[in-house]
Structures are given as structure tokens and as C-alpha cells.
Amino acid sequence: MTDSVDLVMLPARGGPSLPQERRLVTEIPGPQSVALFARRNEAVARGVSTMLPVFITAAGGGVLVDVDGNSLIDFGAGIAVVSVGNAAEQVVAEVIDQVAAFTHTCFMITPYEGYVAVCEQLNARTPGDFPKKSALFNSGAEAVENAVKIARAFTGRSAVVVFEHAYHGRTNLTMALTAKNMPYKHSFGPFAPEVYRLPMAYPYRWPTGPENCGPEAAAAAISAMKTQVGVDEIAAVLIEPIQGEGGFIVPGEGFLPALSQFCTENGIVFIADEIQTGFARTGEMFAVSHENVVPDLIATAKGIAGGLPLSAVTGRADIMDAAHVGGLGGTYGGNPVACAAALGAMHTIDELDLVGRARDIEAIMAPRLRELAGRFACVGDVRGRGAMLAVEIVKPGTTDPDAATTSAIAKACHAAGVVVLTAGTYGNVLRFLPPLVIPDHLLREGLDVLEEAFAASTKAS
């Protein structure tokens, strides 16, 4: 035994040096995971769910390694969080330095440079050629809530416009902003007032066809804002540039630009919730850039800090400064260790060109998913951008959602060692959001497994 341990010198237990392979040595879940899951059920509240009861001991690159020694291909990245990879080298190094220096002072008491540096990075990286400021928080929901607070303070108005299929979080205000009742809202009301939900530009389900979706949905939304909500009442329009939990819905072309323009013309703060789409995920640093939309405020979290809890609101300096001194904050917001991780993650995004890598992933995955659509009649739609791709599963010959088949396919993937997630208001979307550092051979192998899962769970057309 040594009395002083230099953490940096310990052999890496996770991170990019883990063998990049799918390796199953037990059933999934294995006996150790089963035992831990029994403990979990005794100790952890029922409301906190688990998709795949496999307990992880190490992760990195494109794999998750479990307590039984299985190595699973990761197509989920902890819900688009570890885009730079789990235990990414630069994130680990920055965190170790910071955690050994100090762990917390509270930025509202005595500040530190890391917080300022993260804000500078956000101000520089987000779209918009105007002076910007940022504020840091802990979770995505908290960022969304604060964006709404800031928009209300700036406009002196109270209404917030959101959309069908939207997901913005689980706190009281963000439950109100979220569309789906079960499991997010059921039995948890009453909800915050002054939230107005408008139809979403959902191309696959647009009555007059996907090509008409963007302009028609924008016209409908603008008409509803004028006639039902009242333009002068609206503080903010809040939207995910690609809806995440709602089913990876890419709004019909033109929808986002039209909403953004309407907001600009009417003194409404346009807030992009880029919590799932941000930081290289979609093949742009931020997904609004696919349609050259420049939001007034952007909420970020998930991919921001390589797995540490951090979130932010960034936007026009005059709007950001509308909240009075002391009106924004929180004990842990912009924690120094999380800020160090964010700086490491941003460095990694640049160094490994993960924006370009997200496009490469799309180039590998999207054609394979479209092949599936040709072979299996249950595939209603293939969509997404970059490394944020999905297939929507329906009853063959209809557009009726088929959640049971979706779940069967996901379970077959899990049993074969590939972590895929589901999503969607109707629970009928398989979504793929691998770490951007996943090697090509694992992407291909995961897609092979997916194809076998389709074959086993459905009838080929």
C-alpha cells in the first residue's frame, strides 16, 4: 500500500481506452445486475424508473461495461449527455484538477474563473452576432425555468407558448410546459398557469402532407397566437429545434424561421430548448443553425459537460440583464467541478471535430435505417439529423402507432447487448443518439443487431 495515491496515475477504468467491443458473457441482465436490481427496488423510490436493469461499472467510447463483465454497445449516451464519450480524457483531467483544488464556494458568495470561462464559451459558440450573456444552473429543467423567468422580466408579459409533443422537464413549471401526461404529469398537478400549447409541425402526421407542414403549421400557430393567446400577452415562444422525448420530430421546413420572425416582429422572446440537440449532436453546434435561426435565448444542458450536471441560459445581453440583481442563481449553479468538465468537453468537441463526426454518424446510420424502412412495413418514418436519428413504428399499412412492437424491438436489442432508447408521445419511436466518439465498427454492429431485432419482432414486408 502507498500512503499517497496520485489519482491521475491510476490505470484508466473507463474512458476511451476500454476495449471497443460488444461482449456478452451472461444473459442480459446478468446475475450480479439482477441481485443489485433487487436491492435497488428495496431502497429506491418506485417513481424513478429504469429502462434496462444492467448495472454499469465502466464506460467509454461506444461501450458500457456491466458488473457481470458484459460490454454493451451504447446507442443512448445517457440521453445525449456523454456526446464526448464517457469519462472523456480531457473531462477527467479537468475534473481531477478542479476537485483537488476546491469543490464549491457558491458563485453567489465568492466567484471563480471556471464559471466565467464557461459563460464566455457559451456566448461565443451560440448563434447570433450580438452581445450575449449567460447564467449557469444544474439541470435542463432549471435552465428552461430560468429562461422563462428572464423572458417575463424582460417583456413584462406572462404567457408562454409551447407545442404539442414538447418535453421541457419535470419541475412544476416545466411539467406545465411539457405535453405528455403519462408519466410526466399524471397525479402531479395543479400546474403553473399562462402556458399555451399550439399544434406542432410534425411532418409525418401533417394532414396535407410533409411538404406543406412547415408553412401551414406556422400559419396556424401565428393565427392562434394572435386570436387566442393575444400577442401582447406573450413573453416567450419556447421550442425544441428537434423534439427529443416527443419522438425526434424535426419540424417541417420553415416552421422555426417563421416562428422566430414572428417573435422578433412582436417583441416576443424566442427561446430554443437545445438541451438535447445542443453541442454537436445534430451535426451543427446547435440545431437551430440547420435553418439559420438565431434565438433570443438558448437553454442548454445534457451534452454541455461530458456527464457532470450543468445547464445554462445564453442569449441577448439586454434580455439576460433584465432580471434584477439576485433574481437568478442557486446554491450549486455553475459548480466549479461541473464548469471544469464543461471546459474539457468543449475542448474535446473542437479537438475531435465532433460536429463533423455527428455528420459522419448520420452518413453511416441513416441509409441503414432507410433500408429497414424498405424491408419492414412497420417503419412509418425515418428522421433526425446528425447523430440524433429515429424510426417511428406503426401498424403496417397505417399510421397507427405501435408501441408494443417498438418495445419488443428495443428489448431484443437490449438482450443482444445494444442499448437503444424509445421515445414519442405514443411510445412508438426508437431513437439513436450514440456518443459521438463511437467507432464505426460498433455503429455497424449495433445496426446489424437492430436489423435482427426487427426481423425477430416483426414480419418483413
Q: Which residues bind ligand PLP (CB under 6 A)?
A: 139-141, 144, 167-169, 240, 244, 273, 275-276, 301-302
- Alpha carbons 428 and 228: distance in angstroms, whole number: 32
Residue 140 vs 333, nearer CB to ligand PLP: 140
Residue 68 vs 284, nearer CB to ligand PLP: 284
For ligand PLP, the nearest residue by Cβ is: 140
Distance (Å) of CA 38 to CA 24, 54, 333: 22, 12, 34
- Alpha carbons 441 and 361: distance in angstroms, whole number: 11
Count the alpha carbons within 13 Å of 11 in the hemisphere toward its beta carbon: 3
Q: How far is the CB of 144 from ligand PLP (least distance, A)?
A: 6
Q: How far is the CB of 343 from ligand PLP (least distance, A)?
A: 19
| Sequence-ordered list of residues with C-beta below 8 angstroms from that of 402, at least 6 positions apart, any chain | 378, 393, 394, 395, 428
Residue 137 vs 376, nearer CB to ligand PLP: 137
Q: How far is the CB of 197 from ligand PLP (least distance, A)?
A: 15
| Sequence-ordered list of residues with C-beta below 8 angstroms from that of 168, at least 6 positions apart, any chain | 140, 141, 144, 162, 174, 177, 178, 238, 240, 273
Ramachandran region, residue 423 (left: φ > 0; alpha: ψ -120 to 50; beta: rest): beta
Q: How far is the CB of 52 from ligand PLP (least distance, A)?
A: 18
Q: How far is the CB of 341 from ligand PLP (least distance, A)?
A: 15
Residue 94 vs 240, nearer CB to ligand PLP: 240
Residue 70 vs 276, nearer CB to ligand PLP: 276
Contact (CB, 8 A) for 204 and 381: yes
Q: How far is the CB of 141 from ligand PLP (least distance, A)?
A: 3
Which DSSP string corresponds to 142-158? HHHHHHHHHHHHHHS--
Cα of 199 vs its chain's centroid, Å: 21
Residue 74 vs 274, nearer CB to ligand PLP: 274
